[in-house]
Amino acid sequence: MIGVSKRFGKTSVLEDISFDVAEGEALVLLGASGSGKTTILRIIAGLEQPYTGKVILHGRDVTELPARERGVGVIFQAYALFPKMTVEKNIGYGLRIRKRKRKEIRETVNELLSLVQLEEHRKKFPSQLSGGQQQRVAIARTLAYKPEVLLFDEPFGALDTQTRTHLRREIRALLRKVNVPAIFITHDQEEALELGDRVAVINKGHIEQIGTPFEIYNQPATEYVATFLGAANLLDAVVRDSSLEIGNARIPSQLDPVRFREGDSVKIVFRPEDVALSKTDFVRPGQHRIGTAAIEEISFVGAYERLRLQLDQKGREDSRIDDDSFYLTSETPESHQVKSIIATRPKPEASATKLRIGERVVVAITSFTVLPQKEKRNS
């Protein structure tokens, strides 16, 4: 069981970061550039010191220890393989400097070479290897000295998409085999979802949410998490009699009475794939009708069809609701409001029920999360 807790990095690059990683678990730190995730990794590795806080590995407080005494294995973004050493010399480096016997070194190196499937390349130099191969050498190099935790710094950044997907799976399998806890840094949300047992979304130096990929994608705790993880629709709503009022529609929902009270303004968040469209008013169980919309745009994106819809606005006397519906991604600037929502339909459905621009459809949602209108932030 390893626990890491850090608080307040230098010049407030990090604030109050605290998390732990279980044995054999893969935790992903997901965040945009400059969010502080690299700093966290470097602090764990011992390459940087935290302003306050502690780093605890396997129950040992290593905060005061230099990097080389911590027993961490770091896989750097550019792999940092030693250019003048062959693959096997790179892998054996950790044991050589620990003055292990030659036989032990040879056996371990052989084991690792077969683990990462690079036996035929053992005498090659890093410059003669492909990116994916270099990365495997980097991993083998750290496993040689049995580190307590593996730290991956944007490991797939320099690779093309195909290699990336392939390597992701390989590394996941490898990690399960060696059962060492691992922490990954990435800014790619798809990667985070596929790689991590748990994901921590980092924004400007603090953690927005930690949870399983399912949790952070389908139950985002903040607007940032919702929009960072992919396209998100946000609609304003009001709490009324333990349901939510969106425009003229009402959808039932289980709300935490502590967080949400009668009359509160809230936002509901739902993904494009949570939208169900229908030409008739027939609503299936599990779908919550929110209104009608006109189709503005249809695009074909390969595996599915993406539609932009304009929700029909109904006048409201209640001045508390803006009745603005808008579609947000993390790229959308604050002031820009587009009164549309995005929906996607999988290929089978798109082929079965063809829709055209200008048509009116009934819109229902199958899944959503409720967020308070004003989020409390520690600034």
Binding site for other proteins (CB under 8 A): 45-47, 66-74, 76-78, 80, 82-85, 93-94, 96-98, 127, 141-142, 145
Q: Which of 231, 191, 263 is nearest to 31 (CA)?
A: 191
Nearer Cβ to other proteins, position 143 or 216?
A: 143
CB of 62 vs other proteins, minimal distance in Å: 12
CB of 47 vs other proteins, minimal distance in Å: 6
Which tokens is 1 given? 């069981």
Q: How far apart are CA 44 and CA 47, in angstroms?
A: 8
Supply the Cα-derived Rg of the chain in whole angstroms: 25
Nearer Cβ to other proteins, position 22 or 97?
A: 97
Beta strand extents in 156-303 (DSSP E only): 182-186, 198-203, 206-211, 232-240, 243-246, 249-252, 265-270, 275-278, 288-300
Nearer Cβ to other proteins, position 34 or 66?
A: 66
Report the DSSP pairing between strands 341-346 and 265-270: unpaired
CB of 11 vs other proteins, minimal distance in Å: 18
Nearer Cβ to other proteins, position 67 or 338?
A: 67
Nearer Cβ to other proteins, position 70 or 267?
A: 70
CB of 320 vs other proteins, minimal distance in Å: 54
Q: Which of 178, 136, 183 is nearest to 40 (CA)?
A: 183
Which tokens is 232 given? 């998100």
Nearer Cβ to other proteins, position 74 or 275?
A: 74
Q: Would you give the distance in Å from CA 235 to the centre of its chain?
A: 23
Nearer Cβ to other proteins, position 91 or 355?
A: 91
CB of 54 vs other proteins, minimal distance in Å: 19
Nearer Cβ to other proteins, position 70 or 168?
A: 70
CB of 40 vs other proteins, minimal distance in Å: 15
Three-class SS state of 208: strand
Which tokens is 184 given? 């990954």
Q: How far apart are CA 45 and CA 216, in angstroms?
A: 26
Render 108-123 in DSSP notation, one character per residue.
HHHHHHHHTT-GGGTT
Contacts of 241 (CB under 8 A, 6+ apart): 262
What are residue 277's DSSP bridge partners? 363
Find out whether 366 and 344 touch, Cβ atoms under 8 Å.
no
Nearer Cβ to other proteins, position 136 or 267?
A: 136
Nearer Cβ to other proteins, position 4 or 201?
A: 4
CB of 144 vs other proteins, minimal distance in Å: 8
DSSP letter assigned to residue 273: G
CB of 307 vs other proteins, minimal distance in Å: 46
What are residue 202's DSSP bridge partners? 31, 207
Q: Containing H/E element for 93?
A: helix 87-97
Q: Containing H/E element for 162?
A: helix 161-178
CB of 93 vs other proteins, minimal distance in Å: 6
**Residue showing tokens 């961490």:** 72
CB of 67 vs other proteins, minimal distance in Å: 5
Q: How far apart are CA 308 and CA 339, in angstroms?
A: 10
237, exposed or middle or buried, with CB in 10 Å at 0-12, 13-18, 19+? buried
